[in-house]
Structure 1
Amino acid sequence: MDYHGDSPFLLDEFPEIFLRPKAPRPRPTVGAKSGKPGLKKRVAKPAAPRTRPVKIESWRPHKGRLLVFFEGIADRDAADELRGAELLVREADLPEPGEDELYLYEVEGLTVLLEDGSTLGHVRQVQLLPAGQEVWAIDTEDGREVLFPVADEFVAGVDLDEGWVTIVPPPGLLELYLNDDSSE
């Protein structure tokens, strides 16, 4: 599990923490026969993972990651079943962000404006790369994707109440993603 908090000590502060297992992969439905005309193999829709409250027994840093031990998860097999799960907290339980700070989830869905006021698109997803670099996947108005490396010098302003962020992309970034390939 990836931890995105400033400090693992925050885990000790939350009144409740919730665990959402990763969604299972779809599996073919048993009994579907592909050899008969008109019958197709169907894919069984997996049940949505159930979020449940959990209690953290302890945690510690381990090889650059956070190793978390939960009540009721007593052995390695039970822990392996949780691989890829998400730890969640209620928004109301989050500490107030500091001046000029925001939570990553708040960025998703914001309208992306350029310095001249024109609209580039919307932030579809926030990605944290292994080296700690934050990247926004921006869907443009014409359906293209721009991967925007976030740095203080590239973000001119954010207004969560109004739902927008103004960016100043590094030179050549937009041309890399938005040049029309048909003219070449």
Structure 2
Amino acid sequence: MSGQPLVLVGEVIKPHGLAGEFSVKVHVDSPDFFAHVPRLYLRRSPGDRPRPVAVTSWRMHNARLLLRLDQIQGRDEVEQIRGAELLARPEDLPDRSEDDIFIHELIGMRVLLPSGKQLGRIESVNTGTGAGVGQEIWSIRAESGQEVLFPAHQDFVLEADRATATVCIDPPPGLLELYLGEEG
């Protein structure tokens, strides 16, 4: 493994069928990433040592990614890894342009409003692979301590800068008032 920390690319949700296939909460832009990554690392809980695994098959089913790994056989073994993290080495991630930001890099970024005022920091990113497929939602911890759930749609994200670890957003009308009252 490289010296850099592994990157979260997915999470095991639940078994699908009896043969060891399972659905995945995806943390990468494209599910076909799993067809090209040479090796993944499976970690059952944050303190555990990640173990290397290989993807033996992947497919989309009802807007959900289904995976099968070389070391997981049958529904019972999938149940034992439910909630586990799927990680990848940074060097195995797809090439990107200067402007591309991986989801894991958003965590901790400062969030600014068009006025330049700091709203807060991004605490987590939900890629919407559950019922609301395709909608990325950022959980922003406001300076006041309140949580703001922000739909990270291209119309509302004005700029993201990896170098300064900042994101400038223009929330839809009423969103900040909904979470922060009249402070927005």
TM-score using structure 2 length: 0.76
8 A contact 2:35–2:58 mirrored in 1: no
Instruction: Determine the structure 2 residue equivalent to 1:33.
Output: none
- In structure 2, the partner of 1:133 is 135
Instruction: Tell me the alpha carbon deviations over residues 78-105 of structure 1, each in whole angstroms, 9 at most, x when there is no partner.
Output: 1221122121101121112347532111
Higher-RCO chain (CA-CA 8 Å, sequence separation at least 6): 2
- Return 5+ residue gaps in structure 1 as ranges: 24-47
Partner of 2:17: none
Change (3 A) 1:116 1:99: same
Amino acid at match of 2:32: F
AA aligned opposite 2:51: R
The size of the alignment, in residue pairs, is: 157
Task: Select which of 134, 144, 147 maps to 1:142.
Answer: 144
1:118 maps to a residue whose letter is: K
Aligned pairs (5 A) from 1:78-97? 78-97=77-96
Counterpart pick for 2:171 among 153, 169, 181: 169
Distance 2:75 2:26 in 1: 20
Q: CA deviation at 1:145?
A: 1.2
Q: CA RMSD in A?
A: 2.1
**Structure 2 residue aligned with 1:51:** 50
Contact 1:114 1:120 in 2 (8 A): yes
Q: CA separation in 1, counterparts of 2:169 and 2:144?
A: 18
State whether structure 2 residue 65 is matched by structure 1 residue 66: yes
Greater Rg over alpha carbons, structure: 1
Tell me if structure 1 keeps the 8 A contact 2:99–2:161: no
Residue type of the partner of 2:69?
Answer: F
Check conservation: 1:97, 1:103, Cα contact below 8 A. Answer: no
Q: CA deviation at 1:144?
A: 1.3
Shift of 1:153: 1.3
Q: Contact (CA 8 Å) 2:40, 2:87: kept in 1 or not?
A: yes
Secondary structure of 2:73 counterpart:
coil
The sequence identity of aligned pairs, in percent, is 44
Gaps of 5+ in 2: 1-23
> Could you say which residue in structure 2 is the equivalent of 1:101?
100
1:27 maps to what in 2?
A: none
The superposition leaves residues 118-139 of structure 1 with CA deviations (integer Å, 9 ceiling, x where unpaired) of 1111111111233221111111
Separation (CA, whole Å) in 1 of partners of 2:100 and 2:45? 29
The more displaced of 83-92 and 71-80 is 71-80
Paired with 1:167 and 1:22, the residues of 2 have a C-alpha distance of 33
Aligned to 2:159: 157
